[in-house]
Structure 1
């Protein structure tokens, strides 16, 4: 969804490959860690930092000044990056670092990177101390851990006071170790196995720490600076430049998942449509990866505390090979860290597998049959290579949808549902042309550049291809190009928008080569033809469904420094909304059905349980109490699942097994020849809302 925006931006932005800048005199501060004294910024890194400063000053969408206010943000961002749970640095360290809070602006403009290196080196020293402490505790005091006390672990230390001294850090780390041991005990591991696993984990982390390079420090420091502008502006080192996005999409000969760092874990952000993980239905957004194994029986390598790029290298592999992931499922809730192992066969995502698909949803409304056509669009794709080569039969979303529309119209459908759930975007050109199939000639999206200029993208089709009743189904993982299309359908009052609030990514990035690495920066924003931004807020449905993910955890609004929602002058005169007289009745009818629909009830109640658990701030380290807590959560999940099964006439469970019951609700079984659209509760409800609208409209017409 970002690559197409970058292509658009590159054609419109006259950036030079390298800026000719003179290096300013650099301040020199003593290194704090003798073991890492050789880690110094190189001349190439200094020049790259000046390039980054200048590119952000001249071309970032907001062009915020690099001043004391920005310096303070950089400082807080850097500390949060290095010590997000305040478990390494002491108050004395912070007092020493505080001298730089208002100086980073000047230092960066002078290409003086040494303070950033010094703070990182102190981080390396403190982390080494903590790892050695943990190893010593495990080797020499393992049997002394007491699980009968009433000790508790504070879960969120983001705003906790910094430890006064090493003794406070020691106590915190004893509690952390105790929690890790207890979690493994509850998972059924014996004492010897737990000790060996944790020792291996911490020794591996220590070994990797000692392999830190100056490039690791430079990338961390410059990213702490760049990402204070917005979450999609990022520096990529030469080694990581091939991974275009911060989330590092694994769509090429991998598992087809988009990942990002989440404290000590690597977290799944979304799945690439038609990728191996998407097809397997075992991996879900917000799942956290604990370890990675190769093949059916290869040893699982613990990856807690690893860098994102290192985890990506382990997960990637040749087509047809198998990777095993030990994950903490998002369905567990924030505080239940029990794991399960899943297996995925690596593959390349084929364009034809992302192609739009059609189906017929046969419903009954007041005793009358209703035939609803469904077109599922997993991504906004286009075979750019075939297009550039001038091939007349190149594959694209719009071409496929046109063919499917003709087939559905030949079957005399009563209405149409466009299914954009989990569609992360893709080609902007395709979003523009697909919109034209339903509105005919007119603006489709606005792009506002950093200089304030607004470009209007339009479709010149003389008339729409389909003019019948229509709904668009979206969810929190519908992003970018999906939001452009859904927003246009809503602004032109061409379709009812159903489902969940979309992701909210309404910015355009470009990748700019530097003398050393690359900078991805935000230089424009998307706006709907009504003038509303898709940024931060996304598209709000006309009729809302319960979300399968917590919108506070997934989405643009969950990212730090996300650019705000705003609006500009509209490109069209917004006409009277023909749906407005019916929306309240449609919502009421939906709520009446959803209150008794087992899948809707399960989805709503599961999310409420997860949100309730996420609010808990402490976790008991008493084994008896912890077991009771875990069993209580499992019982609540079991009650929810069995209520759903009972309502659907399915066999009840005696316990929650390794399968995530929510997968059945959200699974796309389009590749299963025995599946039917009627098995998808959310899709069926979308068809019923469309049927409700037709009925209400006909009643008004008769009177």
Structure 2
């Protein structure tokens, strides 16, 4: 699947990104040729870029541009296939990227034609929403419309669905406004009664002039658009986005289409994408330290990193809008109506350089001020490893102290080595061990992987020296990597939580701990199934010395397949847990097997390794106890029911264009969710009434407070402390509560079940450490 969207970006960590050099006159035809040669010589398959791959490249490129098959007609596709199906390889190897530009220009023309159709139809057609027609939800596998006449018919349905969706949004807004008005009236009445009783001090009224000024500005800025205007604006934005892409962007799309023809994880990365990848690995960057989002076509400050340049230097506030950007003393460039990623490029810069921004302050929207900020290093804390300690109440049995480590990625600074997942986890783990935890849960749910080196090192915290993962290259040569710790840093009872999105490095770690019989794996039916190893190769290294290569980009290419130490691969199959919990993700189209061109599953010989424990897990009894709890837990009944409904909807793949039917579906869904919330709330209250000492206690640990003497309760931990960022307040923030707070004991179902499984494991007696002469695993 191609992950380079052409649609507008909703939000970005733009202003805190790395520096991007000024664009040089790179010969992108030459770049394309060298990328093609690199794929042939460096990819695991060592497959020639031939006519078959030429056809696949064309198919991928058309799907990237028109992933719903609504802009091109079958006539367009047939014409392009006749011209390029077996010749794109020849063009690319001859340094010619003009076919990519030509196809993109046709795409732009088709989008313009559809926009003209949208304008004409919205102005002239009356949508009644009373038919029995339906429209497809997912069209990536659907045939292209055969000609313009069939395309017009399809687009009439698409527009009716767009308009119907906007009508439902308006109805939801009216209902939400009514609820807010009722809440506000109730609060006002309570304040009035409290003030009359003398139990509170009335708040001073805001300055009338200021309030009037803000209200007038807000009225001008946020005039309610009609459904027709909103639908039309969306398509106008799409065309604007498409028109703003230059040759570098187009070649990026084209080469990405070529890369994934080899396998789903081989990718061509532009310089900007390389910067984003480095940021995700290091969790630090050079910038101003602000989170940007688009609101009414203007970049708005939605978050400020605590301790970052914008925070330290002051002047910039949450909800301020950026209307212009200038580099140093240069002239301002107007940024209103500009794409967010373009604004991002302008705000980026080198450490110590200055960016000036023209701002409409949130405190005085009608005013304008200029702010200068010196860029500097920013640490992104939100995605760093963090931990919790759960202390169970007496009602759950003997008190347990359970350590819980949350790990969303395997990050590392591969250049300077100043950032390490393993080092961070070890700090957290050391504190948990100091608190004398009875067991540990390593939560890898949603962890898509990262550094292979960190996965190996992290495994070494839990098992003594030995093999962790095997790898095989294109020549069939097998190698292995091992952890080198003389003994495990933590050798107590351990559970690893996984789900369908746990991938790559997560699968290496989970598989190794499962093969060593070191940890019990609990989660969805399987993990993602990515059993391949990638390396990043700068394209400029393969280009001639004299060539312009400032913007040549990088190739992330699959060079090996990795294997478990027991010999099996995680490719396609993933890691199957020891205990499977019901999950809605099991019905979703997620995982390596659902991607295009995945490499096949195979096995290699097992390595010799010593099991960590001498007896197998008591899986029969553990599974029996877990199944009994799941059967009687309404939360898992909800999951089962919702999974069934979702599967039926996915299989149908159509949605009604009848307003009455859609309103009924919406009302039914709302009633079902409200009923679930009421039942959940009643259970939570019932349990809270029966618990002593406040129920299950959860303490929160971060790398900032891990060495402080006192633990901090999760309930006392602010969002700013968790993310390291001050966030703009949303309309629904006042009444919002943490997602887990609505559940019994204040923890979500899978987390609570992990606590129960750990208790079972301890009661059934954790297997003892294996002897050195224990027979090796098969």
Return the TM-score normalized by structure 2.
0.65
Q: Distance in 1 between matches of 2:598 and 2:344?
A: 25
Structural RMSD (CA): 4.4
CA–CA separation in structure 2 for the residues paired with 1:561 and 1:199 = 37
Cα 1:577–1:238 change in 2 (3 A) is closer
- Cα deviations across residues 546-585 of structure 1 (Å, max 9, x unaligned)? 3354563444344332333332222225769866462122
* 2:544 is the alignment partner of 1:560: no
Corresponding residue SS for 1:354: coil
Aligned twin of 2:30: 47
Q: Kindly tell me: are residues 674 and 135 of structure 1, through their superposed partners in 2, closer, same or farther at Cα, counting changes over 3 Å? A: same
Q: Report the CA distance between 1:698 and its aligned residue.
A: 8.0
Residue 103 of structure 1 aligns with which residue? 87
Looking at both structures, which has the greater relative contact order when contacts are Cα pairs under 8 Å and sequence separation is at least 6?
Answer: 2
* Contact kept? 2:270, 2:553, Cα under 8 Å: yes
- The equivalences for 1:79-158 within 5 A come to 79-99=62-82, 100-138=84-122, 140-142=123-125, 144-158=126-140
- Cα distance in 2 between the residues matched to 1:396 and 1:575: 27
Q: Which residue of 2 aligns with 1:526?
A: 562
Matched, 1:673 2:713: yes
| Larger CA Rg, structure 1 vs 2 | 2
Once the two structures are superposed, residues 581-611 of structure 1 have per-residue CA deviations (whole angstroms, 9 ceiling, x without a partner) of 6212211211111222344344443344333
Cα deviation, 1:35-65, whole Å, max 9, x if unaligned, reads: xxxxxxx981221121011101110112223
Offset at 1:613?
2.5
Q: 1:247/1:120 Cα in 2 relative to 1: closer, same or farther (>3 Å)?
A: farther
The residue aligned with 1:335 is none
Q: Distance in 1 between matches of 2:57 and 2:339?
A: 21
The answer for the alignment partner of 2:527 in structure 1 is 502
Give the corresponding residue for 1:450: 474
Q: 1:686 aligns with which of 740, 749, 754?
A: 754
Instruction: Pick one of 250, 254, 258 that aligns with 1:225.
Output: 258
2-structure distance, mates of 1:469, 1:201 = 53
Segments of 5+ residues of structure 2 without an aligned counterpart are: 1-24, 175-223, 294-302, 306-316, 324-337, 350-354, 363-376, 540-548, 688-697, 703-711, 717-739, 770-778
Question: Residue 421 of structure 1: which of 432, 442, 445 is its match?
Answer: 445
Distance 1:364 1:568, change over 3 A: farther
* Cα-to-partner distance string for 1:205-240 (whole Å, 9 max, x where unaligned): 334444443333322222221111122222234554
Displacement after TM superposition at 1:242 (Å): 2.8
Question: Partners in 1 of 2:560 and 2:674 — Cα distance?
Answer: 47
Kindly provide the CA deviation profile for residues 261-293 of structure 1, in whole angstroms up to 9, marking residues without a partner as x. Answer: xxxxxxxxxxxxx999xxxxxxxxxxxxxxxxx
> 1:200 and 1:603 mapped to 2: Cα distance?
37
1:431 counterpart (450, 455, 470): 455
Cα distance change, pair 214–441 in 1 and its aligned pair in 2 (3 A) = closer
Residues paired across the two proteins, number: 578
Match of 1:16?
Answer: none
The answer for the alignment partner of 1:354 in structure 2 is 384
- Secondary structure of the corresponding residue to residue 582 of structure 2: coil
Classify 1:577/1:132 alpha carbon distance in 2 versus 1 (closer, same or farther; 3 Å).
farther
Provide closer, same or farther for how the CA distance between residues 369 and 581 of structure 1 changes in structure 2, counting only shifts above 3 A: same
Q: Contact 2:388 / 2:700 at 8 angstroms: preserved in 1?
A: no
2:483 pairs with 1:459: yes
Give 1:457 shift: 1.6
Aligned partners of 2:228 and 2:652: how far apart in 1?
Answer: 28
Asked if the contact 1:530–1:574 (Cα under 8 Å) also holds between the matched residues in 2, the reply is: no
When structure 1 is superposed on structure 2, of 508-517 and 127-136 the one drifting more is: 508-517
SS where residue 235 of structure 1 aligns?
A: strand
Deviations 1:298-348 (A, max 9, x none): 699xxxxx9995698799999xx9999xxxxxxxxxxxxxxxxxxxxxx95
* Cα distance between partner residues in 1 of 2:272 and 2:409: 29
Rounded Cα–Cα distance in structure 1 between residues aligned with 2:617 and 2:510: 21
Tell me the equivalent position of 2:311.
none
1:374 partnered with 2:356: no
> CA shift at 1:106, angstroms?
3.4
Q: Is the 8 A contact 1:243 1:249 kept in 2?
A: no
Give the distance between the partners of 1:256 and 1:505, measured in 2 at CA: 34
Q: Counterpart of 1:444 in 2: which secondary structure?
A: strand
Q: Spell out the pairing of 1:163-202 with structure 2 (5 A cutoff).
A: 163-188=145-170, 193-202=226-235
- 8 Å Cα contact 1:250/1:316 also seen in 2: no
- Tell me how far apart the structure 2 counterparts of residues 635 and 228 of structure 1 sit (CA, whole Å): 46
Asked if the contact 2:582/2:639 (under 8 Å) is kept, the reply is yes
Name the CA distance, whole Å, in 1 between partners of 2:32 and 2:628: 58
Q: How many Å apart are 1:184 and its aligned residue?
A: 0.8
Change (3 A) 1:184 1:607: same
The answer to whether the 8 A contact 1:438-1:466 is kept is yes
User: CA 1:505/1:115 → structure 2, altered by over 3 Å: closer, same or farther?
Assistant: same
Structure 2: how far apart are the matches of 1:384 and 1:403? 20
Offset from partner CA, 1:50-86 (integer Å, 9 cap, x none): 1011101110112223233322322322222222222
Deviation at residue 480 of structure 1 after TM alignment: 2.9
Contact 1:235–1:520 (Cα < 8 Å) also in 2: yes
Q: Does 1:490 align with 2:514?
A: yes
Preserved CA contact (<8 Å) 2:463 2:612: no
Normalised by the size of structure 1, how large is the TM-score? Answer: 0.71
Long gaps (5+) in structure 1: 1-41, 260-273, 277-293, 301-305, 325-346, 388-393, 652-666
Distance 1:126 1:679, change over 3 A: same
Question: Does the 8 Å CA contact 1:365/1:691 hold for their aligned counterparts?
Answer: no
Query: Could you tell me whether the CA contact under 8 Å between 1:361 and 1:372 is conserved in 2?
Result: yes
1:205 is the counterpart of 2:215: no
